[in-house]
Amino acid sequence: MNWDELRFFLAVANLGTLSAAACALQVSQATVWRKIYSLEQMLNVRLFDASRSGYTMTAAGLQLIPLAEQMALTASEIKTAVQEGAELTGTVRLSAPEILATQLVTDIICPLNKAHSSLNVELFTASPLASLVARDTDIAILVNKSTQEHHICIAEYTLPFALYGTPDYLTQKKQHHANELQDHLLIDFEEGGEHLSPLGWYKKSSGMIRVFRSNSPNARLAAAKNNMGLALLPCCYVKKEKGLVKVINEKEIGALTVYLYLNKKRERLPHVVELRQRLKINLRRLLLG
């Protein structure tokens, strides 16, 4: 199997269109189409269904993704092994929402540090979009698309959300005959934080009583754990929290689209390439929890 064709397959799978994949890979759309067509011919299956809105993966395409991602990881490990004598150095500036910070440190940044102790990663969570505008970010994870010309979107992912509460809170509300969503108390985002939740959530939750608001996911999580009400949180963020249960699951709530951006002027620097590769390989698994 041609690894180059799988690389093009992953680009289209992550970005959804030939044009976006071509831009990220710095080739023509025709080249991307030829690579995908060649891979489909070799496998004798259709991997994508084309429409006006972009490319949607078929069942065969979905099955191929984990295998292709594993090959990408293997390719990265081979490259690292070959270059072991040349230690990576320098600083990579990464911007991401605070709600993803812990998972990024645990699953990506710490393993990177073990492999390349001389490489320094700076993680900023205050305002990823603002740091992108200021041009001081090498890689950014955003929940909104950016129009900044100096950064390019290289992948898109989904971040599933669910509504969580404690068993004690739910028992208490059940005693008061709280059978509908509007009967519950809500721990919510700050005013104007609609863009931080899946589409349709604010309409669904409009009848709930908002007892606490915060732009800090840690504060909202703490409030939920202390029985203040129900909180909408990413599934990956609370996967290790044993004191919370899902009240409404991710299939009903939906997901937020997350975008991975790369600074075009620094994209070829070895230390930036290394972090970018690790993010592209691991982000989907990390976000799905």
Amino acid in position 201:
W
Half-sphere exposure of 141 (CA within 13 A, CB side): 27
Half-sphere exposure of 152 (CA within 13 A, CB side): 15
Residue 209, helix vs strand vs coil: strand
- Residue pair 173/184 in contact (Cβ under 8 Å)? The answer is yes
Q: Tens of pLDDT along 224-266?
A: 999 999 999 999 999 888 899 999 999 999 999 999 999 988 8
- Position of tokens 């997350």? 258
Give the pLDDT band of residue 166 (cuts 50, 70, 90): very high
Pairing state of beta strands 255-263 and 151-165? Answer: antiparallel
Cα distance between the two ends of the chain? 30
Of 230, 235, 214, nearest to 161 by C-alpha is: 235
Give the pLDDT band of residue 4 (cuts 50, 70, 90): confident
Q: What is the pLDDT at residue 34?
A: 92
Q: Name the pTM for this structure.
A: 0.68
Give the pLDDT band of residue 221 (cuts 50, 70, 90): very high
- Residue pair 187/211 in contact (Cβ under 8 Å)? The answer is yes
Domains of the chain by range and CATH? Answer: 1-86 (1.10.10.10), 159-255 (3.40.190.10)
Q: Tens of pLDDT along 134-163?
A: 557 899 999 888 877 888 999 999 999 999
Residues in a beta bridge with 119: 90
